[in-house]
Amino acid sequence: MSNINIEIEQQLRNENVDIIHFVDISMLDIKQNRGLPFAILIGIAINPHFLEMVCNTPNYIHTIDDEYAQTESRVGLIADKLANNLISSGYKALSQSDNGLMAENAFDFDTKTSALPHKTIAVLSGIGYIGKSNLFITEEFGSAQCLGSVLTNAPLTVTKNNILLPKCYRCTICHNICPQKALKGVCWNTNVSRDEIVDIYNCITCLKCLACCPKSRAYMKQAI
């Protein structure tokens, strides 16, 4: 690992970031990677007590100031800070926070897609997979993490990783629990699009699929 990797990891650990991964994105097209070869994947685990409350509240709807929103906001601020630090060190860097994406017109509000979703970077990292919920799932936290990313040309040390296929198998909990029936019960692979998995326009962000995923429940049980 290079000195810059170590410095970045220390900075992020000081911010209590739970997931840190350095990813090669040079194989992606220029619209996605914006001409930058590397991405720094950031993730913060969601408070397990909040997730337990979501599971136990029949009609819970995510709000702009709940625990999930606060975690998302925190990840974005950390990504902005990291990008600014890299720029101050003489490198190119783009924060993929909400503010960063809007500043470079990299988010399409009509289709609700960004030029390079955090999940795409996460899949390339090899630390997890996209579940039937269309959420990224890791062994440690299940679906219970908020992701962020910074794109850069800083000379990072990265390793190639295999893309993991879903381990949802016959589980249909997220599909069954979705009050809007927005989830279609389809397993992801590299040939399956987002819209084949979820009707994103019908999703009301109730967080039930995130909180009640068995992998998230395992994290909650261990953490609580």
Per-residue burial over 182-207, b if 16 or more Cβ lie within 10 Å, else e, is: bbeebbbeeeeeeeebbeeeeeeebb
The span from the CA of 134 to the CA of 18, in Å, is: 21
Give the model confidence (pLDDT) of 151-183 as tens digits.
999 999 998 899 999 999 999 999 999 999 999
Residue 39's pLDDT is 98
- 185's CB contacts (< 8 A; 6+ apart) are 132, 172, 175
pTM of structure:
0.95
Domain count, the chain: 1
Give the model confidence (pLDDT) of 90-123 as tens digits.
999 999 999 999 888 888 888 888 999 999 999 9
Q: Domain residues for 141?
A: 3-223
Checking if the pLDDT of 89 tops 90, the result is: yes
Q: What is the DSSP pairing of strand 93-95 with strand 107-108?
A: unpaired
Three-state DSSP string of 4-45: HHHHHHHHHHHCCCCEEEEEECCCCCHHHHCCCCEEEEEEEE
Compute, in degrees rounded to 10, the torsion defined by CA atoms 151, 112, 184, 65.
90
Q: Tell me the average pLDDT of the chain.
A: 95
Checking if the pLDDT of 1 tops 80, the result is: no
- 168's CB contacts (< 8 A; 6+ apart) are 131, 132, 187
Residue 103's pLDDT is 86
Residue 216's pLDDT is 98
The span from the CA of 206 to the CA of 45, in Å, is: 18
